[in-house]
Amino acid sequence: MSDTINLTYDVPGDDFTRAGEASSDVKGVLKKLGLSPQVVRKVAIAMYEGEINMVIHGGGGQITVEVTPDAVTMRLADHGPGIRDISLAMQEGWSTAPEEVRNLGFGAGMGLPNMKKYSDEMEVISEVGVGTTVNMKVYVA
């Protein structure tokens, strides 16, 4: 048996009832693998924030998760409008989310800051008009 587990999810765009399904599934898998509740929670929160961003801003996309004995690595890629100014988007409270998204309780400008807070490594690659990819890593040990 390999020490690496790979998971792939397609995230539908604009479907708020399904947003979080991929993160919930990963949470279940990590719990079954016996990872510590702290690690599972960090991955779940970081990934969910990314997943919600893909639904709100990115028109959906794909998430791949790699679990090794050392770390959980997530790659979230969308083909949305891209982020014009990443450092601005990283600031708490800065948001471009539309009104209907705010009415659901999102769009407070906490998504990327929360992802940074709960992951151990994070990289945002974005090109306007092409899309955004977020790579995050949470250490297991």
Partner 1 sequence: MTVKQLAAQAGLKILAGEGSLGREIESVYSCDLLSFVMGRAPADSAWVTVMGNVNAMAVALLADVACVVLAEGAAFDDDAKKKAEQNDIAVLWSEKPVFDAALDIHTRMAGA
DSSP structure class, residue 133: E
Please tell me whether residue 41 binds partner 1 under the rule CB under 8 A. yes
Candidate ranges 4-12, 40-48, 75-83, 121-129; the one touching partner 1 (CB under 8 A): 40-48
Task: Using DSSP, state whether 88 is helix, strand or coil.
Answer: helix
11 contributes a contact to partner 1 by CB under 8 A: no
Q: Contacts with partner 1 in 64-103 (CB under 8 A)?
A: none
C-beta closer to partner 1: residue 62 or 114: 114
Q: How far is the CB of 24 from partner 1 (least distance, A)?
A: 6
CA distances from 59 to 37, 45, 69, 129 (A): 31, 20, 33, 12
Contacts of 125 (CB under 8 A, 6+ apart): 132, 133, 134, 135
Residue range at the interface with partner 1 (CB under 8 A); choices 1-9, 58-66, 83-91, 108-116 = 108-116
Q: Which stretch binds partner 1 (CB under 8 A): 23-31, 57-65, 73-81, 125-133?
A: 23-31
Q: Answer yes or no whether residue 7 interacts with partner 1 by CB under 8 A.
A: no
| Per-residue burial over 31-69, b = 16 or more CB atoms within 10 Å of its CB, e = otherwise | eeeebeeebbebbbbbbbbbbbbbbbbbbbbbbebebee
CA distances from 51 to 30, 34, 82 (A): 17, 23, 15
Q: Does 117 bind partner 1 (CB under 8 A)?
A: yes
Binding to partner 1 by residue 16, rule CB under 8 A?
A: yes
- Binding positions for partner 1, rule: CB under 8 A: 16-17, 19-20, 23-24, 27, 37, 40-41, 44-45, 48-49, 104-111, 113-114, 117-118
